Amino acid sequence: MAALAAGCAPENSLQSRYGKDTPYFIGLRELQQGNTDAARRYFKECIKSASPLFARRAQEELAATGSVEERIKNYEALYKSYADEDSLELLCKELFDNGEYARLLAYTDGIDIASCGNTTAYYRCQAMYKKNDSRFAETYYRWCMSRPFEVEQYRMYCDAETSPEAVIFRALVFTRNYGAAFARLIKILEGNPSFSVQFLSDAGKTMLYGSKNYAENAALFSSLAERVPEEGKFFVYFYSARTYERAENKNAEAQACFLKAIAQAEQTNEPEKYDNALWYYLNNVLKVSPQEAILQVERYRNRWYEPDYFDDFLETLSVKLLAQHAWQDFYRTSTLIDGYASPEICAKYCYVAGRLVEEGFLKPGGMTTKEASETLLSQAFLSSGTNLYYKLLAATRLGIPDEDLRQSISLLRRDESFVEDEEASRLIAGYADFGFPERIYGEWQRSGALISMESAEKAATFLRDCADVSEQYYTQSLRIASKKLNASEKELSEQLLRLSFPQDFSADVQKYTDKYGLSEHLLYALIRTESYFDPQVVSSAGATGLTQLMGLTAGDIAAKFKLDSYELTDSSTNIMFGSYYLGELIRRLDGAQLLAVFAYNGGITRVRSWVKNANQEFRTTGLPSDLFLETVPFTETRDYGRKVVAAAAMYGMLYYDMSAEDVIREIMGLSLEAASSK
């Protein structure tokens, strides 16, 4: 870490730049070097004279040093200064860790166990339990029944010698032991339980997952509607609907319950619940009839709250309409959702509709083919939101000059409502200037949405420069830059774009792309999409490392290389394996890079089957690859393809003097016929 101490700026300029806040950073440096007494002096100086955020961070650092009594005294002073949830939680932890249960209870006597911080509530209940406090049983029960059951409640449940039946039930649901939870739920319902909203939510999940007697379960649960308080009726209707969905010949009942849940959420003015119930209802209708789903979109398009919540529903509707050759319905949907769906999904529908016109599948009335396609593609270019894929493809089809395209990208998503937290910006920039990379990401998680582009750039640049010390800084740098890329207060800089599409691990990327005949921009795009440049990441399916290789695939590659041992978390090994595998897929698919990308995600056998089916559906022998992408039956693979293509185009423009059109034609320009017949 000594190499990082200088940070981003010369030492002699930092005092003048940070002024009265400088002692905070000097204190951190003294602490890092083991000079605790000196650090405490600087922190005390900072508390007296620094800017409010710096003073608070200094007081937090001071509280964590010294003897037990000194720490407790300082955490008490911190709480006295700020009297908020964060300072109370820190104080409770210190008191609990040191067995000061009575003092902890005194500080938390005035809190509402149903609405305070969950960690604070945990410490209070634990302190009551340790002290055999007579209030424990009632407090514990109320805490567990009045709010979402999380890891803190489960830890308390495991420690407590006995728990009420309803708490045991919620613990079983938390651990997804729905079979045991179902048996307990039936016994609970035989009595006269109090129906809290949280209990009803868990009861609904248990009816859905705890038994396969779906019709019987749904009927039983829906019968509770008259017994529960008004605020709990939504969950009764919602989970009754979802349970009826799984029963044979009960879809009418399911839809009726979904509509009741929607109406209930509307009546109680709960937008999240409203959108959730509406999403399930629309998907239920879609399973029956895409055309009926379009009618429901027309009915509800101006009544949903968060447009992007419905992106995946509209994505699935798109695939079904294309499979049905319902070209006119597709076009109608693109006009219905304009201004109501998210910018990203509107761009998708406009782009695909424009391409259907270009290819002769769709013939909208009142315009020539050229007029209709250009109108739709222009809408896709202008309304793409943060989705680079459709903006880039539309620009290619329209022949938009790269200079204009770059300008459009630089204005990708301006946040006109942005109000900077100047102290947070200065603090994060200060961590970079004074050389504390380990503190940047945590602070950014607390207030990153409020920092300026300049501070985001400085932090991301510094973290990337520190990645030779710890590779985790590659990913942290990318996350900070990408977040600002998607919500910036002004025109995006070239530096921020490059930080959002970095050339990390460049030596290995260059080495193995040369060896296996790949484009660097394609491999960078794949790594960015797969792992966000995190060498240690392991997916839920077991894919590992930068190029997210599965164990079986990696084993086959290792056998070809005659390697007895290897580590997929080693960046060089992972890039070598991933480059080889992608190159092999491209070769086996006759040079079709987009199909190879799909095969990397979904498997080569599936891709060949998808190509054959798509060509049959469109009655062609060479469906253009951009339209083929829209027919891929796996949502994950479609989205994966879009991300890789868009990222590759950005890498090509930023580093390799290529136009977006050059990259897109390279990756997507081949006919599908040869690949499908191989």
Query: What is the Cα–Cα distance from 37 to 33, expressed in whole angstroms?
Result: 11
What is the reported pLDDT for 6?
55
Please indicate, yes or no, if residue 128 is contained in any of the structural domains: yes
Helix and strand numbers, DSSP H then E, in the chain: 39, 0
DSSP state of 493: P
User: Using CA of residue 233, residue 196, residue 213, residue 154, what is the dihedral sign?
Assistant: positive
Q: Within this chain, do residues 143 and 170 fall inside the same structural domain, yes or no?
A: no
How confident is the model over 578-602, as pLDDT tens digits? 999 999 999 999 999 999 999 999 9
- Is residue 385 within 8 A of residue 343, CB to CB? The reply is yes
Q: Within this chain, do residues 141 and 253 fall inside the same structural domain, yes or no?
A: no
- Is residue 25 within 8 A of residue 430, CB to CB? The reply is yes
Query: What is the Cα–Cα distance from 503 to 524, expressed in whole angstroms?
Result: 7
For the chain, the domain total comes to 3
Query: What is the Cα–Cα distance from 55 to 585, expressed in whole angstroms?
Result: 57
CATH of residue 216: 1.25.40
What is the torsion angle, in degrees rounded to the nearest 10, for the CA atoms of residue 446, residue 452, residue 453 and residue 454? Answer: -110
pTM: 0.92
Does position 635 have pLDDT exceeding 60, yes or no? yes
Please indicate, yes or no, if residue 522 is contained in any of the structural domains: yes
Domain that holds residue 230: 164-288
Among the three residues 96, 128, 158, which one is the final residue of a domain in this structure? 158
Angle at which helix 593-602 crosses helix 604-617, to 10 degrees, equals: 120
Q: Within this chain, do residues 125 and 261 fall inside the same structural domain, yes or no?
A: no
Determine the residue type at 96.
F
Q: Within this chain, do residues 552 and 640 fall inside the same structural domain, yes or no?
A: yes
CATH of residue 606: 1.10.530.10
What is the reported pLDDT for 8?
63
Please indicate, yes or no, if residue 480 is contained in any of the structural domains: no
Q: Within this chain, do residues 559 and 596 fall inside the same structural domain, yes or no?
A: yes
Among the three residues 254, 288, 322, which one is the final residue of a domain in this structure? 288
Does position 406 have pLDDT exceeding 60, yes or no? yes
How confident is the model over 181-235, as pLDDT tens digits? 999 999 999 988 888 999 999 999 999 999 999 999 999 999 999 999 999 999 9
Does position 673 have pLDDT exceeding 50, yes or no? no
Angle at which helix 453-465 crosses helix 422-434, to 10 degrees, equals: 20
Query: What is the Cα–Cα distance from 144 to 264, expressed in whole angstroms?
Result: 25
How confident is the model over 356-385, as pLDDT tens digits? 999 999 987 888 999 999 999 999 999 877
Our measurement of the distance from residue 157's CA atom to the centroid of its chain's CA atoms, rounded to an integer in Å, reads 30
- Is residue 307 within 8 A of residue 342, CB to CB? The reply is yes
What is the reported pLDDT for 435?
96
What is the reported pLDDT for 678?
32
Q: Within this chain, do residues 225 and 144 fall inside the same structural domain, yes or no?
A: no
Does position 153 have pLDDT exceeding 90, yes or no? yes
How confident is the model over 265-294, as pLDDT tens digits? 999 999 999 999 999 999 999 999 999 999
Residue-by-residue DSSP string for 254-319: HHHHHHHHHHHHHHTT-HHHHHHHHHHHHHHHHHH-HHHHHHHHHHHTTT-S-GGGGHHHHHHHHH
Nearest CA-CA partner of 242 in 217, 266, 272: 217
Maximum Cα–Cα distance for the chain, whole Å? 82
How confident is the model over 39-82, as pLDDT tens digits? 999 999 999 999 999 999 999 999 999 999 999 999 999 999 99
What is the reported pLDDT for 10?
63
Among the three residues 264, 288, 312, which one is the final residue of a domain in this structure? 288
Query: Contacts for 143-150 with beta carbons within 8 Å, 24 or more apart?
Result: 143/113, 143/114, 144/170, 145/170, 145/194, 145/196, 145/198, 145/199, 146/113, 146/114, 146/196, 146/198, 147/114, 147/115, 147/118, 147/198, 148/198, 149/173, 149/174, 149/198, 149/202, 150/118, 150/174
- 670 confidence band (pLDDT: 50, 70, 90): very low
For Cα atoms 42, 32, 28, give the angle at the middle one, nearest 5 degrees.
35
Q: Within this chain, do residues 190 and 79 fall inside the same structural domain, yes or no?
A: no
Q: Within this chain, do residues 555 and 650 fall inside the same structural domain, yes or no?
A: yes
How confident is the model over 313-356, as pLDDT tens digits? 999 999 999 999 999 999 999 999 999 999 999 999 999 999 99
Q: Within this chain, do residues 620 and 666 fall inside the same structural domain, yes or no?
A: yes
Q: Within this chain, do residues 41 and 139 fall inside the same structural domain, yes or no?
A: yes
Whole-number percent of the chain with pLDDT over 70: 97
Nearest CA-CA partner of 4 in 464, 424, 499: 464
Please indicate, yes or no, if residue 489 is contained in any of the structural domains: no
Please indicate, yes or no, if residue 340 is contained in any of the structural domains: no
What is the reported pLDDT for 675?
35
What is the reported pLDDT for 365?
80
- 621 confidence band (pLDDT: 50, 70, 90): confident
Q: How many CB atoms lie within 10 A of CB 477?
A: 27
Determine the residue type at 274.
Y
Residues belonging to the active site? 530
DSSP state of 227: T
Residues linked to residue 549 through DSSP beta bridges, in sequence order: 544
Say if residue 550 is exposed, middle or buried (CB neighbours under 10 Å; 0-12, 13-18, 19+): middle
Residue with tokens 């879009």: 642
Please indicate, yes or no, if residue 50 is contained in any of the structural domains: yes
Please indicate, yes or no, if residue 211 is contained in any of the structural domains: yes
Q: Within this chain, do residues 661 and 522 fall inside the same structural domain, yes or no?
A: yes
- Is residue 457 within 8 A of residue 499, CB to CB? The reply is yes
Q: Within this chain, do residues 170 and 142 fall inside the same structural domain, yes or no?
A: no
Please indicate, yes or no, if residue 258 is contained in any of the structural domains: yes
